[in-house]
Amino acid sequence: MAAAPFRLSIIDYLNAAPLNQGFKHGLGREYFQLKFHNPSACADRLRNGEVDAGIVSSIEYLRIPDLRIVPGLCIASPKRVRSVVILSKVPPDQIRSLALDTSSRTSVVLAQLLLRERYGVNPAGVDMGPDLPAMLAGNDAALMIGDAAMRAPRQGLFVLDLAEEWHSWTGLPFIFALWLVRQDAPELPVPGGVASFFHKSLEIGMDELPAIVEEARRTIGWTKIELQEYLTENISYTLGEAERESLALFFEKAVRHGFAPEEKPLRFL
């Protein structure tokens, strides 16, 4: 009997592109079945057992039981991210209503933590699709993430870059997403198991960065230089000591504010 395929949820956002590149171009095709989702849908399918692993909003590690983290990898921002922003018609300390793009649950939590703890406001949140004019029509501000945030016009608006806000507050990078694997995921009959494939996929992605940048230039509209900088300076894929420290702090704050049930230690594959 053939072994069950390892079902992998792929996030089609630019910031995840280098992590996905190997898988999308046939790495381990005899083992993996690829499915394409936004981060929220990926988390739901991981929780339901419809996929075995995915790049998932970091907050979901506290919300979904029995997950393991692929060691050494994440989607982080060392300082300024540019693709996760609050765009506001009023200064941050005057925001009373916030339209939330719920595609990324970590960003939703981070936005509310920053507004509460740094700016002393607790705006009403309204879930909406990522359409900036519609979001701002009835709200003071909008949280936008990913490629839609990169394309959004910012003239005349206050811009809060969430990773930049976190860094100036804590001195730490911010970790938006992790490769998370279910405990009951299939074992792969290869030395080192599944973890080596995730690292190899990123290696392929970094080698093929010019092709990723060229594709993004056509869809997002930023220049090659801006996109290159985004993928090499605004985004980092290394889960090191500072990143683990930042995750622990974010988790502690998220639990204290009721965004997750309880803290738990980081468990790795």
Q: Is pLDDT larger for residue 190 or for residue 121?
A: 121
> Tell me: the pLDDT tens digits for 48-95?
999 999 999 999 999 999 999 999 999 999 999 999 999 999 999 999
| Distance in angstroms (rounded) separating the CA atoms of residues 21 and 201 | 6
Question: Does one domain contain both 207 and 245?
Answer: yes
Please name the amino acid found at residue 198: F
In a domain, 236, yes or no: yes
Query: pTM above 0.85?
Result: yes
Question: Does one domain contain both 124 and 65?
Answer: no
Query: Residue 2: pLDDT above 60?
Result: no
Q: Rounded mean pLDDT of the chain?
A: 95
pLDDT for 52? 98
DSSP letters spanning 16-52? GHHHHHHHHTTTTTTTEEEEEE-HHHHHHHHHHTS-S
Question: Does one domain contain both 32 and 57?
Answer: yes
Answer with the one of 170, 203, 222 that is the final residue of a domain: 170
How many residues are given for the chain?
Answer: 269
In a domain, 265, yes or no: no
| Distance in angstroms (rounded) separating the CA atoms of residues 238 and 206 | 13
Question: Does one domain contain both 112 and 156?
Answer: yes
In a domain, 155, yes or no: yes
**Confidence grade of residue 104 (pLDDT, cut at 50, 70, 90):** confident
Query: Residue 164: pLDDT above 80?
Result: yes
Query: Residue 1: pLDDT above 70?
Result: no
Answer with the one of 155, 170, 185 that is the final residue of a domain: 170
| Distance in angstroms (rounded) separating the CA atoms of residues 46 and 105 | 14
Alpha helix locations (H) across the chain?
17-24, 39-48, 60-63, 105-119, 132-137, 146-151, 162-170, 195-207, 209-220, 224-229, 241-256
Question: Does one domain contain both 30 and 95?
Answer: no
Question: Does one domain contain both 183 and 154?
Answer: no
Question: Does one domain contain both 54 and 180?
Answer: yes
Query: Residue 102: pLDDT above 90?
Result: no
Question: Does one domain contain both 132 and 198?
Answer: no
pLDDT for 93? 98
Please name the amino acid found at residue 1: M
Question: Does one domain contain both 195 and 139?
Answer: no
In a domain, 268, yes or no: no
In a domain, 267, yes or no: no
Strand pairing report for 67-69 and 32-37: unpaired
Domain range for 126 is 84-170
| Distance in angstroms (rounded) separating the CA atoms of residues 205 and 211 | 9
Answer with the one of 135, 170, 205 that is the final residue of a domain: 170
Question: Does one domain contain both 179 and 112?
Answer: no
In a domain, 50, yes or no: yes
Number of domains into which the chain is organized: 2
SS3 assignment for 218-236: HHHCCCHHHHHHHHHHHCE
- Share above pLDDT 70 across residues of the chain, in percent, rounded to a whole number: 99
Look at the block and give the residue holding tokens 């959004």: 152
| Distance in angstroms (rounded) separating the CA atoms of residues 154 and 113 | 23
CATH (domain of 40): 3.40.190.10
- What sign has the CA pseudo-torsion 171, 142, 148, 33? positive
Question: Does one domain contain both 66 and 197?
Answer: yes
pLDDT for 4? 83
| Strands across the sheet containing 97-101 | 124-128, 97-101, 141-145, 84-88, 158-161
Q: What is the CA radius of gyration of the chain?
A: 18
Please name the amino acid found at residue 233: E
Question: Does one domain contain both 163 and 91?
Answer: yes
| Distance in angstroms (rounded) separating the CA atoms of residues 29 and 32 | 5
Identify the burial level of 24 via C-beta atoms within 10 angstroms of its C-beta, where 0-12 means exposed, 13-18 middle and 19 or more buried. middle
